Amino acid sequence: MKKKKIVVGGGFAGIQLVRSIDEELFDVLLIDKINHHQFQPLFYQVATSQIEPANISFPFRHILRQKKHVQIRLAEVTRVCPDNNKIITTIGDFDYDYLVIAIGCKTNFFGNNEICRHSLTLKTTYDAIKIRNHILRVFEKIISADAKEREGYLNLVIVGAGATGVELAGAFAEIKKNVLPNDYHRIDFAKFQITLVEGSKNTLNNMSNNAKTASRKYLQRMGVRLLTETFVTAFDGDMLTLSDGKSINTRTVIWAAGVIANSIEGLPADCLVHGNRIKVNRINKVVGSQNIFAIGDIAYMETPKYPKGHPQVANVAINQGKNLAKNFKRIIREKELVEFEYRDMGSMATIGQNKAVVDFPIIKFKGYFAWFIWMFLHLMLILSVRNKLMIFINWAWMYFTRNSSLRLIITEDSPPCKKDNFK
C-alpha cells in the first residue's frame, strides 16, 4: 500500500521534491496558499517592466499534469499535530505518513511594524506587480504634482544591497535613462534619484571582493546613490529616517534588507533556531521527529562545511528536494540513507545590461561575459520551453531596442457596479 505524503509549499524545494517522488511508492498531497510556482530570481524584472509575470509563474496543475499520484490543494496550513500525524488547514484536516515542510521565507522587518506598513517588498509575483504598478503611478502623479509634493515622488529608496537590492537598483537606473524619458517628456529625470541603503560596508556583501568592488562601481556609474554602513530607523510613508540622523523625503521604499522563515504552529519549540528556521539532521528530518521533514530556506542544517547552516538560495533548496526524494525511496526499501552535502557552485548578480559579477569556485569575473553567463543559467532554470522562449525574446528585444511595451498599470479601476445602476 502506498504511503501518504504531504508537502507544504511549492517553491524550489517543494516542487523539486514532488516532481522527483517515486509514484509507485507514494501518494502525494501538495498544499500551497497560491496555485503556482514562482521563479524568484527574476521578480525584479517583473517589477521593472522587463518581463511579464506569467513568464516566471508556473501553475502547479500544469507542471504536475502527468503526475497522477499527486493531488493539489489551495490552502494555508495553520497547525501541525505530530502526535496524531495530522495537519490542520483552512480547508480541513489531512492525515499523513510523512510530512515535508517547505514554506520558505518572508521579508524581515526586524520588528519595525511602521516600516512594514509603508514599504514595498519583493517576495512574490504579486509583490513584483505591486511595485510595477506603484512606480508607474508615481510618474503619472509627478506630472500633475506641485513642486513640494513632487520631491517625494522623485526619490526611490531601496533598502538592502544584496542581490535583490543591487539588481533592482541597476534595473531602475537603466529604465530611468533609456525608457521613461521617452514616455514622460515633461519630467526632468535628472532629478529622479535612486538611493540604495546598506548596513554593511559593501554591496553584495556575501560575494567576493571582486564582486563587491565591481558592483559598487557599476552602480555609481549608473547614477545610483549608495549609502553604506547606514541603517533605516523609520519610515512613515512620507519621510525615511536614517541611523546617521538624516532623512529622505520619499513615497517609495522597497525593502530588501533580509528574510525570516515563515512560521507554522505545532512543532516542538526546541527545533526552532535563529531566523525562525527549523533544525534538521543531515537527511532533512526535523530534530525530535520521526516522520516530519523540512527542506529549502526554512531548514537549518549544520554540517562541517556549513556549521552555521546553508545559504538560503535556490540551489540549496533544489538539491535538498532531490536528495530527500531519493532518501524516501531508500526509507521504504530499508536501505542506507544518503546525507545531504551541498556543493557550492558559486553565486552571481546582474547590475544591468552587459554588467554582471560571477563568483565560481575556481574563477571570478565581471562584465559582458558574466552577464551572458547569468542570462544563460537563469534561462535554463525556467521550467517550461514556452516560458524560456518568451523570456529570451523579451531579453533580445530589450537588448537591441533598450525598450519594452510592458508598462501596464493593472489595478481595479472602479468599485463593483451597484444594483441601482441596472434599474
Question: What is the mean predicted confidence (pLDDT) over 270-276?
Answer: 90
- Nearest Cα residue to 20 out of 35, 7, 37, 33: 7
Q: What is the pLDDT of residues 320-362, one digit of tens each?
A: 999 999 999 999 999 999 999 998 888 999 999 999 999 998 8
| 104-128 pLDDT per residue, tens | 999 999 889 999 999 999 999 999 9
H or E element, residue 373: helix 368-381
Element spanning 129, H or E: helix 125-144
pTM attached to this predicted model: 0.91
Angle at 333 between CA 331 and CA 337, to 5 degrees: 40
Write down the H helix ranges in 154-229: 163-178, 180-183, 209-221
Residues of each domain in the chain carrying CATH 3.50.50.100: 113-257
Give the start-end residues of each E strand in 96-202. 98-101, 105-107, 155-159, 193-197
* For residue 420, pLDDT beyond 70: no
Decide if pLDDT at 413 tops 80: no
**108 by DSSP, 3-state: which?**
coil
| pLDDT, mean over the chain | 91
Quote the pLDDT of residue 380.
Answer: 87
Give 209-240 pLDDT, tens digit per residue.
999 999 999 999 999 999 999 999 999 999 99
pLDDT at 143 over 90: no
Task: Tell me which of 156-170, 173-187, 251-265 is least confident.
Answer: 173-187
- Edge-to-edge strand order for the sheet containing 355-359? 347-352, 355-359, 364-366
3-state helix, strand, coil in the chain (%, to 5): 40, 25, 40
Residue bearing the bigger pLDDT, 222 or 415:
222
Task: Give the per-residue pLDDT at 216.
Answer: 96
- Tell me how far CA of residue 61 lies from CA of 37, 66, 334, 384, in angstroms: 10, 9, 32, 13
C-alpha cell at 7: 508537502
The CATH code for residues 113-257 is: 3.50.50.100
In this prediction, residue 419 has a pLDDT band, given cuts at 50, 70 and 90, of very low
Q: How far is the C-alpha of 295 from the C-alpha of 9, rounded, in Å?
A: 10
What separation, in Å, do the N-terminal and C-terminal C-alpha atoms of the chain show?
61
CATH fold, domain 3-33+75-107+259-332, is FAD/NAD(P)-binding domain (3.50.50)
pLDDT at position 283: 96
Question: What's the pLDDT at 118?
Answer: 95
Q: In sequence order, what DSSP letters do the residues of 213-252 get, joined into one string?
A: HHHHHHHHHTTPEEE-S--EEEE-SSEEEETTS-EEE-SE
Spell out the residues 6+ positions from residue 239 whose beta carbon is closer than 8 angstroms to its own.
247, 248, 249, 250
> Which run of H or of E encompasses 87?
strand 86-89
- At 280-294, the pLDDT tens digits run 999 999 998 999 999
Question: What are the b/e assignments for 15-48, b being 16+ CB within 10 Å?
Answer: bbbbbebeeeebbbbbbbbeebbbbbbbbbbbbb
Q: 41-97: per-residue pLDDT in tens? A: 999 999 998 888 989 999 999 999 999 999 999 999 999 999 999 999 999 999 999
- Per-residue pLDDT, 421: 44
CB burial of residue 88 (10 Å; 0-12, 13-18, 19+) = middle
Instruction: Please answer whether residues 13 and 317 qualify as being in contact, where contact means their C-beta atoms are separated by less than 8 angstroms.
Output: yes
pLDDT for the residue 409? 75
pLDDT at 310 over 50: yes
Residue with the bigger pLDDT between 420 and 346: it is 346
Q: Note the pLDDT of residue 406.
A: 62
Output the CA torsion sign for 103, 101, 382, 315.
positive
Indicate whether 416 pLDDT > 80.
no
Say which residue the cell 533544525 belongs to. Answer: 279
Q: How much is the pLDDT for 381?
A: 86
Take residue 103 and report the three cell numbers written for it: 514554506
Where in the chain are all domains bearing CATH 3.50.50.60? 3-33+75-107+259-332
| Residue 99 near residue 293, CB atoms below 8 Å | yes
Mean of the pLDDT values across residues 302-306? Answer: 93
CA–CA dist 114, 231 (Å, integer): 15
Nearest to 277 by CA among 58, 78, 71, 101: 101
Among the residue ranges 121-125, 386-390, 404-408, the one predicted with the least confidence is 404-408
